[in-house]
Amino acid sequence: MHQVCKGEKGSALITVLIVMGVLTVLGAALMHYSMTDNLQVFNDEKRMQAHYLARSGAEAVADYIMKNPENADELLGKETEPVELGKGTFQVEVTKRDNGELLIESTGDVDGFIRTVKLTLEPHSLGDYAVFCNSIIDMGGNAGIEGNVGTNATDANSIKISGNSSIVGNVQVGPGGDPADVISADKEGSIGGEIGQLESERKYKVPEFPDEEFEELDNLEDLPSMIIDDEGVYKITGDGEDLIYSSINLKKGTLQIDVVEDVKIIVDSLYVGENIQLLGKGKVSLYVNNFEIGKGVNVDGTPGLLMMYYKGESLEINNKEIFCGTIFSDHADFIITGQGSITGNIIATGANVVNDLGGGATINGAFYAPNSTIKFSGNSAVNGLVVANDVVISGTFGLEYNDNIDFPYDDSEICTGFRKGIWSD
């Protein structure tokens, strides 16, 4: 009996020792796991801090570029020195892609834990909005805009929508502006889209007007002219050399311009009683001080083959006259009425210019006048887009957004700003 008890005690001791060994191993494992887990949490926290540092750096550079787009080129290809922020640092580099986008690459470093983020800045485009104004948009009557609308304005009532007017699209007011104050609408539901703010002001510029070409007209008495009273078709041909006239006056006839290469025609006074027709594949650039047509210019032709630089005081297109091409004026008032029509674009530069579209007139293209006031009235219509300083709309005017237009200048030549694009790691 004594021996049995002694044996049981020995077995129990062995069991206790085994259990203690197992517990010791488990304890060590748990301690190791706990320490590893804590270290992982610690490392994850450092990585997260590095990520947010990198993002903060990218945000700061993006905000600077959007507010100062004219200085963007100064940052290209340069990596900043490490910038201390909180418990770490960040470095930023800006590069430019072939499509004009800017790539901001920012790297955050917290105690050797590195994280990199990338942000693209997309350049502003002419086709971003159906209507964009620097200042006031005033809609009345039964006017309608189908497309997005934007303004840099932040003052109260800068966008007025009265009567039965409506906007079928999004509306954005200037940075920091309160849409509830900036937008004044007589009726609920006048805006059929989202309402918000711009990230930064949009800046548009007018390309330089080619004044030097008009110096060819300083001595009119020394230049040839074409004055014909009879009906008929008269042709101008060219081989790429500039054609310079004091006047071209076909009171009853049609003028054909037949060129296989691009040509400049510089003329003080151009009057054609019937039509101006473009033949051949060359682009025609007209430089004109005084201009009047009887029926149409380049009717049913390709808008991109005709560019007219106009230096007169005003330009009227009415009585069902048709112009197919782009008209670029340095200071003229445009008056388009009486079912006059432009298939192409109007580019106006003057700050004190008032452009008037009414009486059934139509524009199929862009009305680009970022420094000017544009008035739309009656049953006039635009199939394209509008950029102006102010827009005043009345009557039954209608605008249907279309950015599929042949504009003669690239976005980089007229738009200087950027908007935030896609974030990536």
- Mean pLDDT across the chain: 89
User: What tens digit of pLDDT does each residue of 238-266 get?
Assistant: 877 899 999 999 888 889 999 989 999 99
Report, in this order, helix, strand and coil percent for the chain, each rounded to 5. Answer: 25, 45, 35
Predicted local distance difference test score (pLDDT) of residue 37? 56
Predicted local distance difference test score (pLDDT) of residue 46? 85
What's the average model confidence in pLDDT over 161-174?
A: 97
Rounded to whole angstroms, the Cα distance separating 364 from 385 reads 9
Residue bearing the bigger pLDDT, 417 or 149:
149
**Cβ-proximal residues to 37 (8 Å cutoff; 6+ apart), any chain:** none
HSE-CB of 407 using CA atoms within 13 angstroms: 25
Consecutive H or E run containing 168 = strand 166-168
Predicted local distance difference test score (pLDDT) of residue 26? 54
Is the confidence at residue 40, as pLDDT, over 80? no
CA distance from start to end of the chain: 77
Lowest mean pLDDT among 33-47, 152-166, 244-258: 33-47
Is the confidence at residue 400, as pLDDT, over 80? yes
**Cβ-proximal residues to 157 (8 Å cutoff; 6+ apart), any chain:** 181, 182, 184
What's the average model confidence in pLDDT over 265-269?
A: 96
Is the confidence at residue 17, as pLDDT, over 90? no
Lowest mean pLDDT among 201-215, 220-234, 273-287, 367-381: 220-234
Predicted local distance difference test score (pLDDT) of residue 265? 96
Predicted local distance difference test score (pLDDT) of residue 350? 78
Predicted local distance difference test score (pLDDT) of residue 4? 45
Name the CA radius of gyration of the chain, rounded.
34
